[in-house]
């Protein structure tokens, strides 16, 4: 049912419970969205070394990322505002990067064959936070605000 509709472009989308109206948030200064001091430069270096080969040097994703591969996986989506990374809060994104897509989706009971490797053995929690800081730093304020709101709602905070 819903599963089939959404699975096409983003398996994690199954967990995005929010109507898009909640996305229209006020534009807070960019700094408000970083926990502590953002380490954007080291995040960029990690991104280029570990992520760009699939997600693109300019976060543009792989060609035809919305169409499935023959093996049932999907190509890597963009991390810029045209993708759906920003539809998910930080905790979920961190978990996806740490454990990889398959482990996360298996534990959520989502039947999906993931092409996203886990980096928990190679990257520290600070590294993962830095990569996310870098990715967020490329977004316009309104997208950063929308993503911060997703995170608050996923955590069940007011």
Nearer to ligand HEC, 129 or 145 (CB): 129
Task: Looking at residues 47 to 86 of the shown chain, list those that interact with ligand HEC (rule: CB under 6 A).
Answer: 50-51, 53-55, 73-77, 83-85
Place of tokens 């920003």: 86
Q: Is 134 in the site for ligand HEC (CB under 6 A)?
A: no
Which residue lies nearer to ligand HEC by CB, 29 or 122?
Answer: 122
Measured CA to CA, the distance from residue 147 to residue 149 in angstroms comes to 5
For residue 28, what are its two tokens? 């807070």
CB 78, min distance to ligand HEC, A: 9
Site stretch for ligand HEC (CB under 6 A), options 25-33, 36-44, 110-118, 144-152:
110-118
Residue 99 DSSP SS3: helix
Kindly state the number of chain residues that form the binding site for ligand HEC, as judged by CB under 6 A. 26
Element (H, E) at 144: helix 141-154
HSE-up of residue 122 (Cα within 13 Å, Cβ side) = 11
Is residue 146 a contact residue for ligand HEC (CB under 6 A)?
no
Looking at the Cβ atoms of 127 and 145, the one nearer to ligand HEC is 127
Distances (CA, A) of 92 to 43, 68, 121, 147: 18, 23, 18, 11
Q: How far is the CB of 48 from ligand HEC (least distance, A)?
A: 10
Distance in Å, CB of 84 to ligand HEC, minimum: 4
* Residue ranges that bind ligand HEC, judged by CB under 6 A: 10-12, 50-51, 53-55, 73-77, 83-85, 93, 96-97, 101, 114-117, 119, 131
């Amino acid at each position: 049912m819903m599963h089939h509709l959404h699975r096409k472009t983003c398996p994690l989308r199954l967990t995005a419970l929010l109507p898009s109206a909640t996305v229209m948030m006020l534009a807070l200064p960019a700094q408000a969205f970083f926990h502590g001091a953002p380490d954007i430069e080291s995040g960029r270096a990690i991104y280029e070394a570990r992520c760009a080969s699939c997600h693109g040097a300019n976060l543009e994703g792989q060609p035809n990322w919305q169409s499935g591969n023959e093996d049932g996986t999907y190509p890597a989506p963009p991390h810029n505002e045209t993708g759906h990374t920003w539809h998910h809060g930080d905790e979920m994104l961190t978990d996806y990067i740490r454990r990889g897509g398959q482990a996360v989706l298996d534990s959520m009971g989502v039947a999906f064959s993931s092409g996203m490797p886990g980096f928990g053995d190679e990257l520290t929690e600070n590294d993962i936070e830095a990569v996310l800081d870098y990715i967020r730093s490329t977004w316009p304020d309104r997208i950063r605000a929308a993503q911060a709101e997703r995170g608050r709602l996923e955590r069940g905070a007011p």
